[in-house]
Chains A and B, each alone.
Chain A
């Protein structure tokens, strides 16, 4: 029998791509709001071909599909981390955080998605969506 030169490879140990994590959260928002709001993840065109990027929009179908950008990410195409997470501060300006691994990304993502500013946006869009129906 030939010697295994591949080392330890496990199909169950693969990392979850950040875009998959974002898409899961997008699905959850639709469920949590009874589809009054949706969220979608779109690819970002990157001028640096070594990197990939995505952004997450909240969409209000009842408001003619109004879109509000919540955050965006970009990371090396091959190694995924470190990842840049871009999001809005309470003052409306954009800021960035660098996440060195998946744990840090999920922790920061939770902080952003459950932030006061994002919750205000969600509450406002739900209220305005309900008012139109």
Chain B
């Protein structure tokens, strides 16, 4: 965290207790990390921050998502949606898409309630960027290019559906620096992607002026320590079976 001067740290399914984690994060650290304001602790999603904890106004905790209105002391207010969607071990692709539909609707309802669409979704979506649960207009409607996202919306079955931009598309494979994905799964199945990008950020067009893809990375090192094992996949016994993503939103 210190290495990258991270303002907001979002962890999914972190089993380290908050006190231990904060002690480690805050060792020789200034400003200190604290726990973002939350009315009901969510054991699946934890948010730590160096910003004043009141910068995070809890809007709701629905399904597997935490909705927060992030108001930094200086800068733009955004709707932050931290998610940890159900694993493919427990849900079929169709069930995942159904739950994404529901979450997509909740996002739109909160946007209507708050009155703007400066929305960022971040977390472990447990689906790849190309799956129906991410791409379909009724779910997140997350597209692979800024150019398309900047069209703002399109009409599908008579309804206007707003886009998200999903920059994670660009991080697959060997043509970009860093690991080829965030999660590795090898199996004997006919179709095997090996590397998946389950951990993603989705950005509404109105936040795109604050985002530069150059500042989006899949991390495979923490300082000098590698997060990968000898085979080159995430080292679950050292850190996690998912690799973290790091990005900057210059609000």
**Which residues of A pack against B, CB within 8 Å?**
44-48, 55, 57, 60, 63-69, 91-94, 121, 124-125, 128
Contact = CB atoms under 8 A, between A and B. Distances in A.
Given A57-B62, A92-B42, 12 more contacts: A45-B102, A47-B94, A47-B98, A57-B60, A66-B58, A67-B59, A67-B61, A68-B40, A68-B60, A92-B44, A94-B64, A124-B40
A40 to B, nearest CB: 12
Number of chain B interface residues as a range: 20 to 34
Contacts of A55: 62
Contacts of B86: 94
A66 B59 contact: yes
Given A93-B44, A128-B39, A46 B60 contact: no
Contacts of A92: 42-44
A47 B138 contact: yes
A75 to B, nearest CB: 14
A69 B101 CA distance: 16
B40 A121 contact: yes
Contacts of B63: 69, 94
B97 interface: yes
Contact of A125 (B40, B44, B138): B40
Contacts of A121: 40
Interface string B118-144: 000000000000000000001000000
Interface in B13-70: 39-40, 42-44, 57-64
Contacts of B57: 64
